[in-house]
Amino acid sequence: MVNSLIIGFLLMIILVATILIIMLTKTNQTKNINRNKPALLRWDSEGVTIAGVNGTNGTASNLLNLPYDLVVDWSYTLFVSDRYNNRIQKFLRGSSNATTVAGRADGVAGSTDTTLKEPTLLIVDDHGDIHVSDMKNSRVMFWKKNAVQGTIVTGNGVVGSSNDQLINPHGLTYDYRSNSLFIADYGNSRVMKYLYNSLTGIRVVGNNTCGTSTI
């Protein structure tokens, strides 16, 4: 009798343990499944204008003309490449009026060290310094924070395909590990790499000719 009770008790313990193991296994499987599911994000269906005025072009401090690129820095300051106004605009958080940080505030184009002509892509570092593709001047400019004039990083303002020339540069990215600036040299169908303080670049992709080959 006693042995039967002991055996029954042990069987009950084994049954309960088995059920617990099964339940824990299913719980972990469910967690793994949920963990692997992509997050579903819902954006507001209506946007809020934070720079420029709807449907209005102009050179006033609260207006833009074909904005092309933007960067938001660590302080939520917005930098806008105001392409057809030939300038870079800086909007402080919560402000609808900008200050011009590169190019002329009146939107006049030029090829001097104080002007731009249809700027496109931007890089803004943690100090507020700016690299900008000065597209129609076929050069890349660097503007120090609060500077009234820029300096040429690469491109001599003359259209060409030598290693110190560009045609309609667009994309920019900076590799801080190697202190190298990479430029999408749109008009030359190539990507160029320029080491820090070097006006002569190295072609890393493309062969100056449009095509679909792998070289």
Judged against a pLDDT cut of 90, whether residue 191 lies above it is answered with yes
Distance (Å) of CA 181 to CA 67, 84, 118, 213: 23, 25, 20, 25
Residue 138 has pLDDT above 90, yes or no: yes
d(CA 24, CA 30): 10
pLDDT band at 161 (very low <50, low <70, confident <90, very high): confident
Beta-sheet strand order (sheet of 130-134):
119-124, 130-134, 139-143, 151-154
Q: How far apart are CA 141 and CA 155, in angstroms?
A: 9
Q: Which pLDDT value is given to residue 120?
A: 95
Q: What average pLDDT score do residues 156-160 get?
A: 83
Helix (H) or strand (E) holding 25: helix 2-36
Q: Which of the four pLDDT bands, split at 50, 70 and 90, describes residue 27?
A: low
- Least confident residue range of 27-31, 71-75, 146-150, 155-159: 27-31
> If pLDDT is split at 50, 70 and 90, which confidence band does 36 have?
low
Query: Is 33's pLDDT higher than 50?
Result: no
Is the backbone of residue 70 left (phi > 0), alpha (psi -120 to 50) or beta?
beta
The SS3 assignment for 85 reads: helix
Average pLDDT over residues 20-37: 58
Listed residue (114, 111, 112) closest to 136, CA to CA: 111
Average pLDDT, the chain: 83
Residues 24-29 have a mean pLDDT of 60
46 vs 8: which has the higher pLDDT: 46
Token match 């392409």: residue?
Answer: 83
